[in-house]
Chain A
Amino acid sequence: MSDAFDPEEIAALLDRCGEGDAAALAHVTPVVYAELKALASRALRGEREGHTLQTTALVNEACLRLFGQRRLEPGNRAQFAALAAQAMRRVLVDHARRLAAAKRPSSDARVSIDEIDLAMAEVDLVGLDEALRRLSAINPRQARVVDLKFFAGMELDEIADVLDVARPTVVRDWRMARAWLQRELGG
């Protein structure tokens, strides 16, 4: 799939995303989204039972596939991660939505029987997504921190780089946002 995209072009688009170019963002997001979706499917089809799907690994692989061995500028790398996080979130939420819409008992049965312990996955992804969307209205930076942490699996240091804020600020944002989410989802 990635064959259709020129790494240089994507890198350039990422640069422009970094500069806040909405058109570039609109252009590159579907690419990343499609790539992640394909990767996720492929990874799952190849995986043995019981393995967890690492969203982080997926994001990294998507990056590798889209850019090959080409070294990304640190800025681009961060920009890509941010984008990928959002795309990953969309991939997951879209699927969750579709599942919820289907509301077929058999699909629930499948999940509980041959996949994983449901207790572990009691998080309501659609709820989380909605909460995050509200958070981004209240405090966009915190929402992005959560995205990067959850869906791109980034460390707080990296997140600080991406968002270009001091590390302590990111730590605080993260912890506050986490508390806020727990309150929202818990209620």
Chain B
Amino acid sequence: MSVEEDERYQRAQAIVHELLELDPPLRAARMQRACADDDALRREVEWLLEAVDDDSGAGALKPAIDALARVLLADARVEAVAPRRYRLVERLGEGGMGQVWLAERDDGTTRQRVALKMLRAGAPGERELARFLAEGRILAGLNHPNIAHLVDAGRGADGAPFLAMEYVEGERIDRWCDARRAGLRERIELFLKVCAAVEYAHARLVIHRDLKPANILVGAGGEPKLLDFGIARLLDDAPGANATTVVRAMTLAYASPEQIEGKPLGTATDIYSLGIVLYEVLAGTRPFAHVESEHARTSAILSGDVEAPSRVARRAAVGRDARLRRIPVDVDAIVLKALRREAERRYASVAELADDLRNYLAARPVLARRDAFGYRTRRFLWRNRWPLAAAVLVAALAGGFTWRTVLAERDARLAADVAGKTTDFLVSTFALSDPTSAGRHDFTAREVLDQGRARIETELAGQPRARARLLEALGNAYRGINEGNAGAPLLEEAARLALTPAVDEPLAAARSLRAKALAILGARGSSDEAEQAARRALDLVLRHGAGDLRLLADAYGTLAQALDAAGKAPQAMASARRALELREASHAAPPEIAQSLLDICTVTSDVGEHAAAVPYCERALALHASAGSTHTNAYRLALREYENALLYAGDYAKALATRRDRLALTRELFGEDSAVLAMDRVVFAVTLAEHGLFDEAAGSLAAGLPVIERRNGRQSTQYALAIFDAGWIKYLLGEFDAAVPLLREALRIYEAAVGSKDNDRLPVLRVDLAIALIDAGHAGAEARALLESVIEARSAAQPDTSELAYARLPLARWHVAHREYAQAESLLDQVEAVGTRVEPELHARAAATRATILRARGDDAGALAHDRRAYELNLRDVGAGHPRTAYFALAYARALRAAGNAREAESLERDARPILEQAYPADSAYRRVGRN
């Protein structure tokens, strides 16, 4: 091992090469010469010559390396993939999907034993992963004592996705029953618990798709736990997984006919598989167990000819519990009904299957027996021919944005209204088409919703009750995809139907009307219409609610929001407080009380009491935190209110930080590629720009805008708002000429999308376009018309609203541009009369406008005072470091210089100029003031 030895080898091998090139007779002499009297070298050469003669191949080394490679890599892969915070304990198994390990999850304080599934798939792309994680979150939302909880889903160190499930120790349901020699009744009772768990998941639009005894373990307490709920679906979609793997992995023996045929799957597939499980638990063997080849088994399943469990049980192996050898005809009928080839001939829901089993246990007649006549089925199909067709609709709802949004949100209202109602009525009653086969974009959802709406009108004409419920579900679905304006008329129609004598469900009408108000408010539609709907809802609850405090609280809460949007702050405050009292009195859940506090916060802020508003929002957030609901959309919306309150209260730093937090939450809740995140990003970009953080704003805008364009389309209100914000950022940068076309296009799209109906956003769009036009030097007819239309519409609706100030100020500037100073001053008087209900910025700009007027009139001293006031208002508002302050500082400095106070002017300029130069690009209009 020494250097000496190495040198010796080096020389020896060279000598060997040389020797072997020589004719054999010459070699001995050459070797003699080469080694001279170095014995060690000679021995080395001889040893090597021998080695060269050995033609035995690689020896044991090569296969050993290959074998070792396998060991090492197998082990190392696991090492590498074990996600952070997990420690692998023991390998539980390996299947087509990948490996399953018993692992410990360490989240710093607690250690949890989990079954860690490391999926066999290539590294997913960002979008695929985001979807995978989003689906994972939905599954994580399944909280049922008989369902093994999905603890975590993510991507391991090697990029392959993993799932962590609650680790369950137990025995397969069939073996557990056999080991305990459970009787028929006991088995059915245990199976009913399984049904309850499946029913729970179905109500949340999650299908198991791989139910089998191996996935149903019974623990020490005799409680069954269902494993891998929805995992099959997740795996299907798992990034990198290919379809054939999934199909192969599916356990054929428990697969439903539609599964084998590769058709879209619904809840009916689980009902079928439950049938097989029940069959096996009772009869001790599966149907088709005797069929040898896979091909024959496939055909047998597809034929739908299932041998009755009782006949199989009679033949069963000797030694099997005698009590189980006689299976009653009723049970036969139930099992066979679950196993019908046609999905629509099975039980319509798991609940129905469970009910029938209970009928049997209670010795009541079972439904399944009657089914033999086919009467019920035919009646059922006839009565519900529309809803069956509507399965397509549910597919889109379930597969697209809505489904994920709704479920991920866990917003009590939305979840209850959309998931609950839609599910109750459509999903669990009728075959739910497989979400995977449906489109995955809002766009598709919107299209299908439109289609569904058309069908309700034609096909359910004679069934007002069903129509009302479907219209309500549809209306809420529109709300779910942020198309509240489209949903509102449906909800109105649902309410109308609910109030007809044939239906007579006033509380359902109240619910629809409240949903309508919220839909309009969510879409920033007409606040008057929202208020009207909310009032009607409240009225119905007061008359028919029979003292249900929570219903009443909800009605007041919604009314408060509508009143606030309509600018009726005092009434809004009264309603919000009433809602809060009612919620507190009825011990409502913390998130509901939080909602009331938020409403109060918003209203307080809207009446100009910004500092007083903030603590209400903070209390709301604290309630969420104490209830552990900080990972919800409700919390996200609460953060939004809080930010607004902070902004108005002048705490920009905290507002900005909160907004950053919210963005992170949005990403977690909705995923990287969601339209919601994209919209939040765009809005955040404007906030950043308003704080002079233009670079970061550009980044945030660039991340959001394309997603909105792709997800919502170029004709959507969302896209209009997004390019509006892009234009506004240009304006804030002082690039007025670039801002104008964007703002104009945004207004055009927006008007087209909302059909020029009264809307909260339209005035903002119009005013801001006018402002940009005026600043760009185009104070012409277009700008004036925009502003006057807003003022006209607003004053008609609400003469003293502070909103008017936003339009009056630019109109004053418009008049200044046309040297119509008297009109301008009268408008400015009105703006200033609004007081603190508008931001200090507005007052600063009003002061600056006055300065311009006074200067034009030759009153330089008055102009100087107003320039000073404009500067100081900004200074107090956003501080000396803000570009806006710097801009007004330079304007003030110019006035100072004109007044002969060069020293003070210079000192101001020294500080302000670098700020402007750093914040704004060279061609920005704001830089011009700095150069003069």
Contact = CB atoms under 8 A, between A and B. Distances in A.
Contacts of A52: 63, 66-67, 70
24 contacts: A38-B158, A42-B120, A42-B122, A44-B70, A45-B99, A92-B73, A95-B72, A99-B75, A102-B79, A115-B75, A120-B60, A120-B64, A120-B67, A123-B68, A125-B65, A128-B65, A137-B6, A138-B6, A151-B65, A175-B51, A175-B53, A179-B48, A180-B9, A187-B1
Given A99-B79, A139-B9, A175-B53, 10 more contacts: A41-B73, A55-B69, A91-B73, A98-B79, A99-B72, A102-B79, A116-B70, A120-B60, A178-B58, A179-B54
Interface string A30-44: 000000001011101
Contacts of B20: 168, 172
B71 interface: yes
Contacts of A40: 69, 73, 77
A139 B66 contact: no
Pick the 5 closest A-B CB pairs, nearest first.
Answer: A179-B51, A95-B76, A53-B70, A121-B68, A95-B72
Given A55-B65, A178-B51, A45 B77 contact: yes
A175 B58 CA distance: 9
B13 to A, nearest CB: 5
A73 interface: no
A70 B90 CA distance: 43
A44 B74 contact: yes
A124 B72 CA distance: 12
B66 A55 contact: yes
Nearest to B13: A176
B77 A111 contact: no
Contacts of B98: 45
B48 to A, nearest CB: 5
B72 A92 contact: yes
Interface string B542-560: 0000000000000000000
Contact of B17 (A94, A102, A125, A169): A169
B72 A123 contact: no
A122 interface: yes
A86 B9 CA distance: 23
Interface in A75-106: 91-92, 94-96, 98-99, 102, 106
Interface string B1-27: 100001001100100110010000000
Contacts of A96: 68, 72
A116 B123 CA distance: 28
Given A95-B72, A138-B9, A54 B66 contact: yes
A176 B73 contact: no
B62 interface: yes
A130 to B, nearest CB: 11
B47 interface: yes
B74 A92 contact: no
Contacts of A184: 1
B412 interface: no
A44 B79 contact: no
A67 interface: no
Contact of B59 (A171, A173, A178): A178
Contacts of A149: 58, 62
Contact of A95 (B16, B63, B66, B75): B75
B318 interface: no
Interface string B38-61: 000000000110111111001111
Interface of B: 1, 6, 9-10, 13, 16-17, 20, 47-48, 50-55, 58-77, 79-80, 89-91, 98-99, 120, 122-123, 158
B67 A44 contact: no
Contacts of B60: 120, 123
B776 to A, nearest CB: 45
Contacts of A134: 6
B6, B50, B58, B67: most-surrounded residue (chain A CB, <10 A): B67
B16 A139 contact: no
Contacts of B50: 179
Nearest to B8: A138
Contacts of A71: none
A1 interface: yes
Contact of B74 (A115, A123, A179): A115
A163 to B, nearest CB: 14
Contacts of A120: 60, 63-64, 67
B76 A99 contact: yes
Contacts of A44: 70, 73-74, 77
B71 A111 contact: yes
Given A41-B73, A116-B71, A175-B54, A1 B123 contact: yes
Nearest to A50: B70
B158 A41 contact: yes
Contacts of A175: 51-55
Given A107-B75, A142-B13, A172-B17, A123 B51 contact: no
B17, B74, B80: most-surrounded residue (chain A CB, <10 A): B74
A44 B123 CA distance: 16
B20, B55, B76, B80: most-surrounded residue (chain A CB, <10 A): B76
B72 A150 contact: no
Contacts of B10: 138-139
Nearest to A49: B94
A36 to B, nearest CB: 10
Interface string A106-133: 1100110011100011110100100000
A46 interface: yes
Contacts of A38: 122-123, 158
Contacts of B17: 169, 172
A53 B73 contact: yes
A106 B80 CA distance: 16
Interface string A156-185: 000000000000110111011011111010
A56 to B, nearest CB: 8
Contacts of A187: 1
A41 B55 CA distance: 34
A116 B77 CA distance: 16
A184 B61 CA distance: 13
Contact of A176 (B16, B55, B89): B16
A134 B9 CA distance: 12
Interface in A132-158: 134, 137-139, 142, 149-151, 153
A88 to B, nearest CB: 8
Contacts of B99: 45
Contacts of B91: 110, 114
Contacts of B48: 176, 179
Nearest to A118: B71
B90 to A, nearest CB: 8
A179 B73 contact: no
A54 B48 CA distance: 30
Contacts of B64: 120-123
Contact of B67 (A107, A116, A128, A168): A116
A65 to B, nearest CB: 11
B429 to A, nearest CB: 42
Given A121-B64, A122-B64, A178-B58, A95 B70 contact: no
Contacts of A94: 76
A1, A54, A95: most-surrounded residue (chain B CB, <10 A): A95
Contacts of A151: 65
Contacts of A111: 71, 75
A4 B16 CA distance: 47
A45 B91 CA distance: 13
Contacts of A102: 79
A114 B94 CA distance: 12
A19 B45 CA distance: 34
Contacts of A95: 72-73, 75-76, 79
Nearest to A137: B6
Contacts of B73: 40-41, 44, 53, 91-92, 95
Nearest to A113: B91
B66 A53 contact: yes
Contacts of A123: 60-61, 64-65, 68
